[in-house]
Amino acid sequence: MKPTLASRSDLAPRARQLLGQQLDECGKLLEPLLHGALDDLEAELFRIAEQSSGGQAQHEALEALREVKRSRPGFQAYLMALLEQRFTAIGEPEPAAARPGAGARDSDLTLVDPNEFDETMALGDLSSRTELHASNALFELCHRYAVLIAAVPLESDELPSGPHVLSTVLGEAARTLGMQGDHRKLFYRLCDRRLFATAEAFYGRLNDQLKDAGILPHLRSYLPRRAPSSAQDREEPESESGSRPTTPMAPVTDFSPPSGAAPTTPAPEMAQLHGLLDARRHALHQDLGGQGAGSAPGAVSSVASLADLESALNTLQSQPLPAPAPHAGERLRGDLMAQLRRASPSGAAPQLQPEHRDAMDLMSLLFDRLLDETRSEGTAQQLMSSLQVPLVRVALADSNFFTARNHPARRLLNNVLETANLWLDRSDGSFDTALNQRLQRSVQRVATEYKGDDLGVFEREADDLDAQLKQLARRAEIAERRQVEAAQGRDRLHAARAQARAAVDKRLALKPASPLVRALLEHAWVDALTLTLLRDGENSEGYRRRLAAVDQLLGPATDRDKNQLSAEINHGLTQVGLQAGEADQIARHALELPGPAQGATPAASQTELLIRLKARQKPEEAVAEAPASPRKLSLTPSERKALDTLKGLPFGSWLEFTVNQQGQRVARKLAWFAPASGRCLLVNARGAAAPERTLDQVARMLARGQVRLMPPQDSGMLDRAWNALVAGLRKFGRSTEEAAT
């Protein structure tokens, strides 16, 4: 008997009642949406069949249409039964076996069906977009469900009515419709159009039901106030709740760091940054007379307002982009001052206000740091150059850009740089043109649509790139897992072949053998022993029996059971690819058995069989079996130390290789290695295997400085550059304090 909500005695009666009402409400809301999606599916299948000029495609579409009509009466009932199981299991720990990767060992890895992977990706993208579009309603629903089950706030993928669960049960229920994978993916797209397009209203209705029941009726997401960008903003009256009215232009996002996370800069952030910048100017002996921190606005002819800066930057944003170059921030500042001078009635460049000057300095330093982080031959620097003016406009109008890690503009810049720097790698001879065009469109959209007052375009593009990065990461994970499986298989094959060859060579060294028997053992029988080792293991009866066959072939003829030995040799040779007739002829010659009966196919001579046995070994197998170098050089002390360092690294560590004399660098992940054999697998960000190297070769390169270990990257590229910038400013601050004392 399957558990139900009524059987959850650990939940309060009212909690069970409200969860049951939520389940019923989900059924009422889903019924018309699923009905419409199935109607759309039938219409699409009929259109596909009608437009197909006969053949397999038309047959499959008509068959799928018949199956949908037959199965759709029970489709929603089955989907709701699956959904009820999720509601019943709310708050219960997920079984260890069900968690992805839990308890998995290397030997448990399996290949993934491409069609199943594509379906999983389609459902994952569908749920990710839904979560992004209805994030505020889901945030509230997670907290209200947590109240019902007396637990900490749920994650969105734990929510029984959340998009992740809905997409999962939709995929399970869709298999009952009797369609092929391509038609199921078509159904998911139609559901996305009808079901998930109304996600915000769907989750809003579930929230309203719980609010009406008194569950956190006053809960709402935190909406931060932006820094005032003009005098009009500063004079705007506050509402009774103490917060300013928000405009409906774009959803307001909480830019504050996650709970428990260390802030990027210490509090009070901006006050310390202003002081550190003043210390830097003092340490660099800058001229503080005109633009310094201690000068008064009245000492110059005019002071540029934020509106003046916005107008000048708007003009620069519409001009052709300069090529990426060092000190791009200083060059932009020069262009800005020149534009302000042209717009000034007096023809003189106005002074920047201290906070605007500091924002320009911070952006200049940040861009210089990011230029060092990105590859000069890649597209990241060109994309960053396109975003420079819009980002400076954001930084001047909103100081949260520097202090809030989740600021939309920061997220977009980080996503663009990491995607371009990591995924658009030309070093392996391939280049993702579609991804490059996708990044170019996002950057162009920001440069065209951002007018200095609405961060919505940054947030939309950052969300879309987040979903794109998740999809790329999932595909790379699958590709990497396949490469690891292949590398482990090759390593096991090499080890088994070496063990089989050693066992045969040991016996041949003790007893002489005829040329045919030696060729049989050294070539075909080594493969038969290798296959048995891989399948059954060293201690298996089959492996011992095949080693005994070697001993009998090399022993006295009087000690052999010729019929049994002939059958064993025939079986082993056919397993490694020889034809049955050919294997029988080899066994007869090796055991000196009489030839076939008269009238049969003429038997090959021993010389012909000997040539065939030696010729069956493929060239690539010979290369794989041969040592990497005939005389292996011993490692120097520094190289042995580097090898010990490599063996102590966890799988997934990143290494940076210098690939040419120009200093071009590529990042490669150490996905797997075998300490015993010295084999290792290096992959790029997409999970594709890099040119094969051994641990000894990488250790030599590490000792020579051609490889460096990349530190664990727990934060994004932008955060790392920002932290390095702040650390550099603090050095100036300490130098100033020491000079003062």
Number of domains in the chain: 4
Cα separation values, 477 from 406, 427, 432, 481, 687, Å:
26, 20, 17, 6, 7
Out of 320-329, 343-352, 438-447, 704-713, pick the least confident. Answer: 320-329
Same domain, residue pair 519 and 375: no
pLDDT in tens, 90-132: 988 755 434 434 443 344 444 445 567 678 777 877 787 777 7
Note the helical H segments in 511-540: 515-519, 526-536
In the predicted model, is pLDDT for residue 271 greater than 50?
yes
Q: What percent of the chain has pLDDT over 70?
A: 78
Instruction: Please indicate, yes or no, if residue 557 is contained in any of the structural domains.
Output: yes
Give the per-residue pLDDT at 21: 92
522 shares a domain with 473:
no
Residue 716 placed within a domain: no
Is 358 found in the same domain as 454?
yes
Examine residue 498 and state whether it is found in any structural domain, yes or no.
Answer: no
Domain identity same for 325 and 467: yes
- Is 488 among the domain residues? no
* Torsion region of 711: left, alpha or beta (phi above 0 gives left; psi -120 to 50 gives alpha): beta
Angle between helix 75-88 and helix 163-174 axes, rounded to 10 deg: 140
Same structural domain, 372 and 277: yes
Confidence label for 250 from pLDDT (cuts 50, 70 and 90): very low
Which comes out higher in pLDDT, residue 326 or 112? Answer: 326
The conformational region for residue 422 under phi > 0 = left, psi -120 to 50 = alpha, else beta, is alpha
Same domain, residue pair 279 and 420: yes
Torsion angle defined by CA atoms of residues 386, 390, 393 and 399, in that order, rounded to the nearest 10 degrees: -100
Higher pLDDT, 428 or 726: 726
Residue 235 located in a structural domain: no
Give Cα 672 distance to the centre of its chain.
Answer: 17
pLDDT at 727 over 50: yes
Whether 583 and 679 share a structural domain: no
In a domain, 581, yes or no: yes
Q: Say yes or no: 280 and 326 in one domain.
A: yes
Residue 285: predicted pLDDT: 57
pLDDT at 246 over 60: no
**How far from the centroid of its chain's Cα atoms is residue 496's Cα?**
34
The verdict on residue 631 lying in a domain is no
Residue 374: C-alpha distances to residues 355, 421, 434 (Å): 28, 6, 20
Same domain, 431 and 547: no
Q: Is 574 found in the same domain as 551?
A: yes
What number is the average pLDDT over the span 591-603? 60
Structural domain span for residue 537: 511-625
